[in-house]
Amino acid sequence: MVHLGSISDKIELNNGVQIPWFGLGVWQSKEGREVEHAVEAALQTGYRLIDTAAVYGNEEGVGRAVKESGIGRGEIFITTKVWNTDQGYDSTLRAFEASRRRLGLDVVDLYLVHWPVAGKYKDTYRALERLYRDGQVRAIGVSNFQAHHLEDLLQTCEVVPAVNQVEFHPLLTQRQLRAYCDKSNIKLQAWSPLMQGNLDVTLLNELAEKYFKTPAQIVLRWDLQHGVLTIPKSVKAERIKENADIFDFELTETEMASIDELDRHHRFGADPDNFNF
């Protein structure tokens, strides 16, 4: 079990780059004041990782809020992703340049292939390898890759993905994929860790009562103790604080196992083996 002490704790990726365990997701945070306020609240709370994507349409707001925070660029870790319609080698290089410009950054910390688009993700990933070698990104990885996608990619890639960002929460515990990523030295990062707000689960409520925490905090603590990086989203300052207040308690092994048993292979998002966008 992983023992973590504070929001600023980091872990080393397979290329030596340090990534914060915990960060803010900004999917569905509106471009402009909404996303800027969320990022500002997160940075003030001590978050040091922001997860965006070209398709979220808010890279400019993220970039502005980061700049205006006055926090040194080296202290903040920014992830963005290449969208499906931009996949392919040349188009990915162009999409990256557009993302980087919108973010207002010289170097992006982590660039991900957003979804495993059939027939394209290998070319897309080759473009990421080029960006990595050119020093334009500090680490590269994938998102929504199942074990078979990774197996396929690992046969030809030259740089092992540092991260696989996937849907992960108590109803979808991804046991096999986690084992595969562990074995392959790829860090799993949880999207929709809060089940998109569907947190009214008896066991989570009981544990919340026991620890004087909320169900959201129980779930996020469970992520970290499993060694899974996590990026909860909120646009509300009080929830942004609440979600980060998880470093002063520890779930027991038995409690971890009982949350694991909630697994129903239930997805709130799309299935990586059957998506149409």
| Residue positions annotated with a catalytic role | 56
Considering only the stretches 4-12, 58-66, 178-186, 236-244, report the one whose residues sit in contact with ligand NDP under the rule CB under 6 A.
236-244
Regarding 199 and contact with ligand NDP (CB under 6 A), the answer is yes
Regarding 26 and contact with ligand NDP (CB under 6 A), the answer is yes
Cα–Cα distance for residue pair 262/137, rounded to 1 Å: 37
Most distant CA atoms of the chain, gap in Å: 53
Work out which of 195, 201, 218, 246 binds ligand NDP, going by CB under 6 A: 195
Work out which of 191, 218, 223, 244 binds ligand NDP, going by CB under 6 A: 191
Give min distance, CB of 27 to ligand NDP, in A.
Answer: 3
E strands, the chain, in order? 10-12, 18-20, 24-25, 49-51, 77-82, 108-113, 137-143, 163-167, 187-191, 229-230
Which pair of tokens denotes residue 239? 């929830």
Regarding 197 and contact with ligand NDP (CB under 6 A), the answer is yes
Q: What is the DSSP letter of 269?
A: S
Q: Would you say 88 or 215 has its CB closer to ligand NDP?
A: 215
Regarding 233 and contact with ligand NDP (CB under 6 A), the answer is yes
Cα–Cα distance for residue pair 17/246, rounded to 1 Å: 24
Give min distance, CB of 233 to ligand NDP, in A.
Answer: 3
Regarding 161 and contact with ligand NDP (CB under 6 A), the answer is no
Give min distance, CB of 89 to ligand NDP, in A.
Answer: 21
What does the binding site for ligand NDP look like in residue numbers (CB under 6 A)? 25-27, 51, 114, 143-144, 165, 191-197, 199, 214, 216, 231-236, 239, 242-243, 269
